[in-house]
Every structure is written in C-alpha cells, then in structure tokens.
Structure 1
Amino acid sequence: MWQLLEPVHATLYYAAEASEEAASLGYATDERWPGYFAYRAAPLGPAVPGVVNALFYSFSPRMVERFAAPAWRTAAPERVLAARNTAVDRALRRLLGDRIGSPELREAAELARRAAEAADTAGRPMAAANAALPWPDEPHEVLWQAATILREHRGDGHIAALQTHGLGPAESLVSHAAAGAAPDEVFASRRWTGEDWTAARERLAARGLLEADGRATPEGLRVRSAVEQLTDELAAAPWEALTPAETARLAELLVPPVLDIVATGLLPAQSTLGIGLKYDHA
C-alpha cells in the first residue's frame, strides 16, 4: 500500500505546479529543495532548522540549515500550506484528467481516509502535524492528504526502527545503499559530504555491517531487513481499520491513477526511499 500511495504523495515535490506556487511565494525554484522543505515542514508551524533536521532525519544538517532556516522569512507556514493545497489540486487535476470526480477516485479517497484517520499519531510528530490539518472537500485532495498522513506515519516509525538498530542519519543512507536499494549517487541528494559518507561507512564496517568495498555483509543485510520489517510492523495498525477485502479494493482502485502519474515520467525511477517506480502497464 505504501508503494501505491507514495507516488500520489510525491507529486507535490516534483510537479511543475508545485514549483509555480512556491515561486509565487518568493521561493527559489532553480532546484526543488526550497519548496520541498517549506511544503513538508509547514504543518509543523514555524519550525526551526534543528526540529526539521530531527524529524526529516536523513538530510545533512548543513542542507537543512541552508533551506529550512530562511523558509519562514520567505512565507509564513499558513501561506505555504495554502500554496501546497493549490499545487496538489492543480497537479492532480492535470495528471489524472478524466479520473477527477469519478466514482472510483471518490471510493479510493474514502477508503484511504478511513485508514489515515485510524493512524495513532502518539510519538509520531510528522504524522500528527498532517493529521491535524482540516480535510479538503475534493476526492483527489482527500486522497493526497490521506496518502501524506499514512506516509509520514510510516516515516516516523521508520526513524524509530533505524534508531532501534543503531543507524543514525548518515548510516541509514549508507546501509540502504549498501543493501542495493539504489546507487550511492542517488543518496547524494541528501548533501552529505564525501567525508561524512566515508565516516559513516567506517562506523558500519567497525560493527561488521559493511565489507571493505562498501557492500553490505550478511549481518548488514540482516540488520537492514530487520529495520524494514519493524518499519512495516509499526505502519500496519492504520490498515486494521479496513477489512482485507477493502484494502485489496483500495489497491485495485489506486493502480490506474498511479500508472497515470508514473507514465508521465514526473517521478524519479530510483529514490532514497528504495522504491523503483517501474509499474507494469499490462
């Protein structure tokens, strides 16, 4: 379900409409990060970089300082949230076309909302901040908000799983790359320096989790698998609000719009999340 809902959520960070709305607020758009940090952090209110760094986890602190520190001097969180809503509305209307307003999209939105509303946000600040926002009226916007609550709920749990297994921010990326989730170059988007990356590798190697060439050892693969398993377990509770048949129905309903989104080439084929967006259209 995460793999089906993540492309819906991720439209915000890659769609041209998101860049346009960010630009209208005064954010630079020569790269996506000024808008990304503002859009994603806005539900928290005027969060300082240290808070954003703690909750986003895998970004270099220097990167967070660069983009989060000036965010609220450019526009207040309330204005960013309004722009975010407009960007999502515009982007999904373009990407989904005739599916907007369809009975199938409305049904998907209703099912996803039920799961999102069942998410326990205790100890999950990113999920809690998004769950506290008012629900929109239009089904495509409801679907996006539900996807966002559920992915941030999962992300908060993922951080807990990483910390349970002793993987700090840089180590979390190095271990994920070492396990084959994506090439090292994909993880460079988090702006850790070469020295940071090497130091994280050395710490993991000292624990017996990495080979000398940077590949995961069998123990490294076991730890990484344990992280992902615990993440899934911590993300499972909201789905208990739906019956297995309802969850299967939601998956069925999501495939066509997700294929529409992926087919545009809007989203990267590989990301730091380890999702390969290569859906079979057959």
Structure 2
Amino acid sequence: MTSTATTTTVARFLGQKLLEPLHLVTYMCDEPNEAMAAIGFDDGQYWPLYFAGRAAPLGQVPAAVVDAIFYNFAPGMAEEFYTGVWEITTPSEALAAREAGSVAALRRVLGPLADSPAVARAADLALRIALSAPVEGRPLYAGLRTIAVPTEPPARLWHAATLLREHRGDGHNAALVAAGLGGQEAHVFAALDGGMTPRQYGRLDPLSDAQLEAVVAGLRDRGLVDSADGFTAAGRELKDRIEEQTDAAAAPAYAGLTAEELAQFTADLEPLAARIEAVGY
C-alpha cells in the first residue's frame, strides 16, 4: 500500500467494521464478567471488574493514571471503581481471566467458525498488523504489547483485535486532546453523531443533569453545538476532522498490507463480523 488516503480508509474499515466486533465480546458478553467473578469480583458490580480487566496491562498504577489514560470517564469513576481492585486479585490474574472469558464468549458467538481455517489465517495476519504498529504515545497499547501472545487461533485473533482497538483508542485520545475536547465532551459528540441526545448516550449516565448541561453548555459557548443540541457546522467539521486524524494515526499498522493480503483478510473477517451481527452478543 502506497496511498496514504487508501491506508487510512483501510484502517477505518478493518479496525471499526471487522476487527472491533471481535474485541467487543469483552464488554458485551457474560463470559468475561463470569471469569472475573471467579477470581473474586462481584459480577453484579460491573465497573470494578471493567477497570481491573482493562487497566491490568498497566500494572498496579494509581487511579489517577488510569483515569488519564482512559480519558473519558466521569469525574471520580476511576477513583471509586478502580481503587482497591488489586486487593482482590493481581494484574496477571485479571488478564488471564479477561482473556479466558472473552475467548469463551467469542467461541460461543462464532460457533463452528471459531475453528475454521479463516480464523487461523486472520489471527496470524491480524497479529502481524497489530505488532507492527508504532508504540510511541500509546500507553494502553504499549501495556498490551507486554502480554504473551496466546496460542490458539480464536484467542490470538481476539488478542490482536484488542491490541488494534486500544492502539486506535490511544490515537483517538490524542486527536481529542489536540482538538481541546475533554472526555465528556467527546461523549456528547459521539451521541450527536449517532443521532441521540446527550442524555440518551449511556456513557454519560454517571453525570447529573446539571453536570451534563454544563458540558453541553460549554460546547455551545464554543460554537460547536447549537441551541437545539445538534452540531453546528463548526462542530460537524471538528468531529469529522477528529475521526480523520484518528484514522491517520491508526493507519501505519496497516501500511504493509499487500492488495492480496487485504483481499484475503477481508474475506476471512467478513463472515465473522456477519455472524456476530446475526447472532448478537
């Protein structure tokens, strides 16, 4: 691949449409929560096991570091739900439980496809892509790079999808910082982009009505959101620019793909994504 424009398009298509659904079993399925419960977490309390599982590649860092790297959680959430998780388990145990539960979920959702040659091929290529990505400025991705690569193909594919998802996320956060958008403002942008009101967007639930209104009011003051809580022209342009910058930051991982590899990778991943869409999580 020589065209930058082509590579950024590929990064969005593969990263968001075909690979991210494989990673999302971690958050959308019961098996990862059950695996975390087996090592001591209360599976009726989602956020502590979420913070433990996702932050585990960073080691036992303070809540303030997790909050900074995760970027877009409501004020105080990391302090409340991450503090104390390493009194329940260790990062290595949390990583193992998260992987085991996620792979079990992926196997259930994919059914017979999980052991198909397509998954083995896709896992190998996805890992090559994921491990070729630049590390600089990407703390969560860098943490994940320190984890041993699983051996069985579904686990390898989930691991690669997770690496690429967090690599993209780190780059997205950098684009948000450059645009001067805070985490909660980014969620408002995501809500409007998805045709929702800010209150309908679940990740904004922890904010009180007054807190949420303050976030939206700040965006109005900047001329990014209008009086009807929709994008202004400037807001729409900024949202699109952030996504383009996110694609550009993700693109180097995919730059080495040949046309033949891209065609095979797409052919292997599309049935998996279609299966997930059809079956659900």
2:159 pairs with 1:159 = no
> Which residue is equivalent to 1:62?
76
Q: Is the 8 A contact 1:59 1:192 kept in 2?
A: no
Greater mean deviation of Cα atoms: 90-99 or 154-163: 90-99
Contact (CA 8 Å) 1:170, 1:192: kept in 2 or not? no
CA deviation vs aligned residue, 1:23-80 (integer Å, no higher than 9, x gap)? 1112121243222111111111112211111111111122222211121111111110
Q: What letter corresponds to residue 257 of structure 1 in structure 2?
A: L
CA contact (8 A) 1:12 1:87 kept: yes
Counterparts in 2 of 1:87-102, with a 5 A limit? 87-102=101-116
Is contact 1:108–1:250 with CA below 8 Å preserved after alignment? Answer: yes
Q: Alignment partner for residue 148 of structure 2, among 129, 134, 150?
A: 134
Q: Identical aligned pairs, as a percentage?
A: 39
Question: Mean alpha-carbon deviation: is it higher for 183-192 or for 44-53?
Answer: 183-192
Find 2:63's aligned residue among 46, 49, 55.
49
Structure with the bigger RCO (C-alpha within 8 Å, sep 6+) is 2
- Equivalent position of 1:7 in the other structure: 21
Match of 1:77 in 2: 91
Contact 1:170–1:196, Cα closer than 8 Å, also in 2: no
Alignment of 1:82-231 (within 5 A): 82-180=96-194, 182-190=196-204, 191-231=206-246
Residues 1:181 and 1:118: Cα distance change in structure 2 (over 3 Å): farther
Q: Which moved more, 1:230-239 or 1:193-202?
A: 193-202
Q: Matched residue of 2:165: which SS?
A: helix
The structure richer in helix per residue is: 2
Q: CA deviation at 1:186?
A: 4.5
User: Aligned pair count?
Assistant: 266
Deviation at 1:183, TM superposition (A): 4.0
CA contact (8 A) 2:41 2:88 kept: yes
Distance (whole Å) between structure 1 residues aligned to residue 124 and residue 57 of structure 2: 22
> Within 2, Cα distance between the matches of 1:182 and 1:262?
21
The separation in 2 between residues aligned to 1:176 and 1:209, in whole angstroms, is: 13
Residue 103 of structure 2 contacts residue 158 of structure 2 at CA under 8 Å; is this kept in 1?
A: no
Q: Do 2:139 and 2:170's aligned partners in 1 also have CA atoms closer than 8 Å? A: yes
The aligned counterpart of 1:32 is 46
**Distance in 1 (alpha carbons) for counterparts of 2:78 and 2:195:** 24
Could you list the per-position Cα deviations for residues 131-183 of structure 1 after superposition, in whole angstroms to 9, with x for gaps in the alignment?
Answer: 11111101111111111111111000000111111101111111222334544
Distance change in 2, residues 1:133/1:175 (3 Å): same
Note the 1:226-245 alignment, pairs <5 A: 226-245=241-260
Distance in 1 of aligned mates of 2:29 and 2:225: 37
Greater than 4 Å deviation, 4+ residue runs: none
* Contiguous gaps of at least 5 residues in structure 2: 1-13
- Could you tell me whether the CA contact under 8 Å between 1:158 and 1:227 is conserved in 2? yes
Q: Which amino acid aligns with 1:246?
A: E
> CA distance change for structure 1 residues 225 and 264 in 2, over 3 Å: closer, same or farther?
same
Output the CA distance in 2 between the equivalents of 1:215 and 1:183. Answer: 8
In the superposition, the TM-score normalised over structure 1's length comes to 0.89
Shift of 1:185: 3.8
Verify the 8 A CA contact 1:9 1:144 in the aligned structure 2: yes
Q: 2:35 aligns with which of 21, 25, 30?
A: 21
